[in-house]
Each structure stands twice: as C-alpha cells, then as structure tokens.
Structure 1
Amino acid sequence: MSETRIRDRAVIIDQGFVVIQRWGIRIIVIAAALYVLGWAVGHTWVVWFPVALAILFATVLGPPAKALRDRGVPAAAAAGLVMLGFLAALGVLFSILIPQLVDEAPQIADRAAKGVGEVQDWLVNGPLPIESGQISNALNSVEDWLRDSAGDISSGVLSTIGVATNVIVNTVLILILTFLFIKDGHRFLPYVERLGGHRVGGHLRELLYRAWNTLGGFIRTQALVSFIDAVLIGVALALVGQPLWVPLAVITFIGGFIPIVGAFASGAIAVLVTLVTNSPQDALIILAVIIAVQQLEGNVLSPMLQGKSMNLHPAVVLMAVTAGGSMFGITGAFLAVPVTATVAEILRYANERIDTTLTTGGDPVAMTSTAPATASDPAAVEDEGGKQR
C-alpha cells in the first residue's frame, strides 16, 4: 500500500508567505522604477514634449509622404511637399477658426458659468428640489472656476503648446522634427533591426512597426471621428440659432482627441451655453443631439473606422486620461491614450511570443519575427541607394 504523505500546515503557510514576499519585493522594485521614470520624464519634459508631438504629426503625414516616395519623388522633396500642405492647412485653420475661438472664449466661459447657476437654481427650486449641500458646493465651484477663467481662456487657448518653453521655439522645433521624421523615418526600423542583431532585431522591428501602426491609426481615426462629431453638433447648434456655434464646434473637435473626458466636457459646455443664450428647450435638443452623436461614435464610427486596433477597455482609457492629466496637464491627457495604446500593443506582442513558445517549445528570444518586410511595410530594409533588398 502506498503511504499518504501529509504536509505540515505550517510549511504550506510558510511557502505562501515566501511567494508573497517575493512578489512584494518585485512590485516595490517595479513601482520604484516607474517613479524614477516618471520623475525623469517630468524633469525632461521640455525635450520630450516637442518630440512626442512631432511623432504624432509624423504618423498622420507619413503615409502621403510614402505615397510620393513610391512614385519616385526623392525623400526630401516628398517630405517638403507634405509639410507645405500641412502648413497651408494649419494656416487656413488658424486664420479662420482659431481667432474666432480666441475672441469668443471669454464669452463662452461666462455663459457656461451662468448655465451652471441656472442648473443649480433648477435643482434647488425646481419641481423636485434637492436639498444637498454637496451638489450646491460642487456646482458653485464649477461656476466660480469658469468665471475666474473667462479672462484667461482667450490667452491660454494657444498656450498649451508652450507649456515648457516659448511658443515660437517649440513650434519651430516641432516642425523641424516632423520634417526629419517624415524624411528619414522609413530608415529607422531597418537600422534598429541591424543594431539589435539576429536574436532581438526582428522583435524590435516588429514591436516598433506595430506601435507605429497603432499610434497612426488612433490619431487618424480620432481626427476623422472628431471632425464628424464637430460637424453634426455644429449643424445642430446652428439650426437652433446658437450664435456661438462655430467656436463651440471647434471646441468639440479639439475635445474629441481626449476620449470620454473631452467629449463629456465639450458637450457640457455646448449645452450650458445654449441654456443661457437660447432656452431650456433648445438646450434639451442639443443634449439629445450630443447623446445621439456619442452613440453613433461609440457604436458605429469608431468600430467601423478603427476596428479592434486599439482594443482598450473604456475604464483603461478613463484611467489613462485621468493619470495623464493629473501629472502633465492638458498635454498629458491628450498623450495618455496614444501612450497607453502603444504599451498595450507591446504587451500583446509579448503575449503572442509566449503563446508561440508554449506551443512550439522554442526560445521566445531566438525565434525570429513572423512579419514579412514588404514594400508597404516601413520596416522593409533599404540599402544606401534606397532600393529594397
């Protein structure tokens, strides 16, 4: 007969505490590393801010530059033509829409503050009065903030790009970096692959390629979705006779680049301003339109245009925006989702390699990347003459 061995309970508990201790030390080390990384990024934000914006611009401008290169246009000329078109579009935007937004921003803030006051009066004195000091205090805080900010918004609308240093210096630096990224960015992945060597070069190339595609897809999709939202809401505002429909539509477009939070904030401003300038009925109409547009965006536009490329849960997006905004302000909220999507794509690739290793029994580092380097792939290796090999 086989003898049954009974393990002592104290040994099992002791082994459990050993595992907890081991993972506790790992978590502390990882948290310390993330803290040091955040500290370093915060103190060198003056460098990373223009680089990050230049990369975002390059993800949008890179495909047309590549299309020109495929038709035989030299890389420098293709980048120059794309940059000229980009600057022309910015010139039209700044000359037509932005001045109007800057001029009307104090009025929008003041009327939004009055709208908050009317909402507070309705909650207290309406058909279903609410006796809640917390609600009143919260609404009073929002109203005071909007009134205090009314004079500062017009001067601060264009100042977010100069958070770290002078606006002109940052703008010139961003434009130069964007041009260089468009001109020579297609040579970067082949260089990284050669630098990484046989074991890890292919993985680095594949990771960066996926991150680039995810980032570019997110920016292009958000721009298109935000534009559609701004057009639909702007038309609705114009139909109800809202005199500030153009700047409110611009605010809607800008807010669309900050998922969830931006749409909620810009929609709330549009409803509050309409409540003051028009009537409660018009405000309810705009609220219904905004809800319908958000449902169209969430259930039709984003899934159709973006598919599952992001694959981020709304809770993750909300936490990322909150964390980015808390640490780095408006720019952090804007960059939080692209950074989170890039990190998520890296984790997905690592998970794929682990699954491949479990099924094949191979070395996840030694295994080469399975993504082919094709003519449409920016990771396609080019020689000095620009020919693929």
Structure 2
Amino acid sequence: MPSALSSAKTRSALRTSARISLQMLLVLLMTAVTLWLLGRMWSVLWPLVVALLLTTLTWPPARFLRRHGWPPALAASLITVLFLLIGAGIVVLIAVPVASQSGELAEGVVDGIQQLREWAAGPPLRIGEDQVTSALDAAVARIQGSVGSIVSATVTGVGTIVNGLVTTVLALFLMFFFLKDGPRFLPWLTRQLPGRLSTDVPTVASRGWDTLGAFVRSQAFVGLLDAVFIGLGLWIVGVPLVLPLAVLTFVSAFVPIVGALFAGFVAVLIALVSNGWTDALIVLAIIIVVQQLEGNVFQPIVQSRGLGLHAAVVLLAVTLGGSLAGIVGSLLAVPVAALIAVLWNYLREQLSDPAAPEAPDPAEPGPAPDAA
C-alpha cells in the first residue's frame, strides 16, 4: 500500500514555497521599479552610456600618453580632438566620393527604374503604362491625404536629430572628463562608500570596465572583418565607391542588425545603378554570406571569448534586446548581459563557501619522523 502523505511535511513544503514565491515577487517588483526609474532618467543615462563606450575605445592611447609624462588634461584634450578629426575624416571619406559621382549615380538610378518598368511590362507580370500611371496617381493622392501625418513625422524626425546632436555633444564632453579624471574615480568611490561596499562596488566597477572594453574591441574586430570581406567582394565585382562602402560597413557594424541591413542596402543599390541586375544580385549574395558568417560565427565566437559569455547567450541577448528596445536594445544587449554576468560571478564568489582542505589519503605514507 502506498504510504500516506505527512501533513507536517506538506505544510512545511507549502510554507517554503510561499516564502520563496514572496521573495521572487519582491525581487521582480524591485526590478520593475528600477527599470522604470532608468526609463525616467534615460535622457541622462543614454549620453553617459555612449560616453563610456567611446571612452573604452579611446582610453588605450590616452593611457599611453599619461604613462609617458603627459598631464591628464592635455592627454584627454589631444585624444578628444583626434577622435573628432577621425570621425570627421570618416564622414568626408564617405561623402566626397559619393558627391563626386552623384551625377552618374542619379543617371544610374533613372536607368534602373526604367529597366524595372520594362521588366515589369514583360512576362510574367505584363504591367502596362496605364497601370503604372494609375498606381502613381493613387500614391500621389494618398500622399496628399496624409500631409498632416507627414508633417508630424517630419517634426518628429527633426526632434530626433536634435536629440541625437545633444546626446553626441554631451557624450563627447563626458568622454573628455572620463579620460581626464577616470583613474581617480574608483579611489574616490572607495572613500565615499561605507563598510564592505567600499570594496565590493569598486571591484565590480573595475571588472565591468574591463568587460566594456572587451565588448568594444570585439565589435570593432567584427566590423573590420565585415568591411574587409565585403569590400573585397565589391572590388572583385567592379562596383564603384568600394572604399566609402567598406568604411560605411565598418561604422554600421557598431549598430547590430539595422546597421548591417543599411550598409548592405546601400551597396546593393549602388551595384544596381552602376553595374546592372547581375552584379547587384552577386553583391547581395556576397553580403548575405558575410552577414550570416558574422552573425552566426564570427560575432558569437569573438564576443563569447572576449566577454566570457557563451555564443548562445550572445545570440539570445541580441534577440531579446532588439524585441524590447529596438536598435538601442540591440546595441546594449550584449554589454548589459556581460555586466550582469560580471555581477553574478562576483556574487557567487562572495556567497560561496571557502574550499575545504583535502583530507590526506590514509593509503599514502605520511612524512617521515624527524631523526632523534
């Protein structure tokens, strides 16, 4: 016969389950409150996050100058100016060749549209001129009926651009101060915090800084791989503006998913208007292959090694971040996951029991007694 349930053990199990459930609810509540507060402070936090990421990229040369006797303010000023010059140079490197060939590209766009219309007019679609004209008239009528939405979208876009400029300026100023006074932050933080926090918080902050540096370096390496392979493919196919497209690919790699799609779309469009459909399809195939290798091989391997995360965790983090917060979520998903891993590993270290000394094996002979 099966044994009867013990009422005492059942009540104990229910009490334990209720206590654990209450604790989990409190943790989830505190997490929700924290996320709400971060959302309210996002206008300040976003420039801070951008500045930290830029500082991890510019700190190695600033540290080199400081170790060779440069004053902190002078080293930070020089690195900030050089960073601005490099950013402006990248913009010029992309814009000048495009502007010099804008006439040819415009003619190519017109020819491409005409080729598309001729192709649509033939089999199997057989779309006639009257259908195209009616579709254009319908599109114009719809645009005219949506003037208010277009104006509001334009105003929203202008506001977004202004916010982006403000964020960029604040991030550059914060980057300068981080380069100048960054090494004094942890000692200052140690003096401000009481008790054990004066040790725990600076330790976690130091490990988190190393993790952010590893993320930026790995992202730059992956972007360099994309730029080299895609640029080489464009050069072999004979697409114009290879260097600007390669630079655009490298820069866009710092914005996961959307950046790669944008750079690939530009490359395919230029191949279409300059070389025709065949080369455009070849370029599209090259970009798809490189992006698949980057997203499924290069990026997870490099970031998992640099950040101490498994490749599957990296992929899941990018997917979750993109679904929760769009482009910004995709950009910050991997470093946030790495920082959570840093905090979790430190908590495990502090909460783990010290390893017990191994008992001697009785089968092994002990040390020989000292001679009398």
Q: Compute the TM-score of the two structures, normalised by the length of structure 2.
A: 0.68
**Residue of structure 1 in register with 2:64 after alignment:** 67
Give the corresponding residue for 2:285.
287
Structure 2 vs 1, CA of residues 199 and 45 (structure 1 numbering), >3 Å: closer, same or farther?
closer
- Is the CA contact (8 Å cut-off) linking 1:192 and 1:205 kept in structure 2? yes
Structure 2 match to 1:241: 238
| Correspondence for 2:340 | 343
Take 1:226 and 1:242, find their aligned partners in 2: how far apart are those partners? 20
How far is the alpha carbon of 1:209 from its aligned partner? 0.8
- Aligned mates of 1:90, 1:271 — CA distance in 2: 21
User: 2:32 maps to what in 1?
Assistant: 35
- Closer, same or farther in 2 for the Cα pair 1:27/1:276, shift >3 Å? farther
CA distance in 2, matches of 1:354, 1:336: 27
Cα displacement (A) at 1:335 = 1.9
Kindly provide the CA deviation profile for residues 230-269 of structure 1, in whole angstroms up to 9, marking residues without a partner as x: 122022123213346556534532442245x358635864
- Displacement of 1:213: 0.5
- Residue 76 in structure 1 maps to residue 73 in structure 2: yes
| Alignment partner of 1:359 out of 355, 364, 370 | 355
Distance 1:307 1:334, change over 3 A: closer
Instruction: Give SS of 1:309's match.
Output: helix
Deviation at 1:284, TM superposition (A): 4.8
The one-character-per-residue Cα deviations of 1:64-97 (angstroms, maximum 9, x if unpaired) are 1111111111110111111111111011012222
Find the counterpart in structure 1 of residue 171 from structure 2.
174
Equivalent position amino acid for 2:224 in 1: F
Asked whether the 8 Å contact 2:304–2:311 carries over to 1, the reply is no
**2:221 corresponds to 1:210:** no
1:88 is paired with a residue whose SS is helix
Assess if the C-alpha contact under 8 Å between 2:65 and 2:75 holds in 1.
yes
Separation in 2 of the partners of 1:15 and 1:101?
A: 73
Identity %: 31
**SS of the residue aligned with 1:359?**
coil
Residue 232 in structure 1 maps to residue 225 in structure 2: no
Write out per-residue CA displacement over residues 124-170 of structure 1, whole angstroms, 9 at most, x where no aligned residue: x9xxxxxxxxxxxxxxxxxxxxxxxxxx9xx99xx79x749534433
Question: Could you tell me how far 1:279 is from its partner in structure 2?
Answer: 3.8
2:139 aligned residue: none
Residue 85 (structure 1) aligned with residue 82 (structure 2): yes
Summarize the Cα distance change of 1:171–1:306 in structure 2 as closer, same or farther, 3 Å threshold: closer
| 2:329 counterpart residue number | 332
Identify the match of residue 45 of structure 1 among 8, 24, 42. 42
CA distance in 2, matches of 1:334, 1:28: 29
Judged with a 3 Å threshold, the aligned counterparts in structure 2 of structure 1 residues 14 and 258 are, in CA distance, closer, same or farther, namely farther
Q: Which has the larger radius of gyration?
A: 2
Q: Which runs of 5+ in 1 are unaligned?
A: 1-5, 126-151, 362-389
**What secondary structure sits across from 1:345 in the alignment?**
helix
Instruction: Report the RMSD for the aligned CA atoms in angstroms.
Output: 4.1
Question: Are the aligned partners of 1:79 and 1:179 in contact in 2 as well (CA < 8 Å)?
Answer: yes
Instruction: Check the 8 A contact 1:97/1:250 in 2, yes or no.
Output: yes
Q: Is the 8 A contact 2:309 2:338 kept in 1?
A: yes
Q: Which runs of 5+ in 2 are unaligned?
A: 125-149, 358-372
Partner SS for 1:335:
helix
Give CA-to-partner distance per residue, 1:320-346, whole Å, 9 cap, x none: 334433444322321222122112111
| 1:55 counterpart residue number | 52
Asked if structure 1 preserves the Cα contact closer than 8 Å seen for 2:269 and 2:280, the reply is no
1:172 Cα offset (Å): 2.1
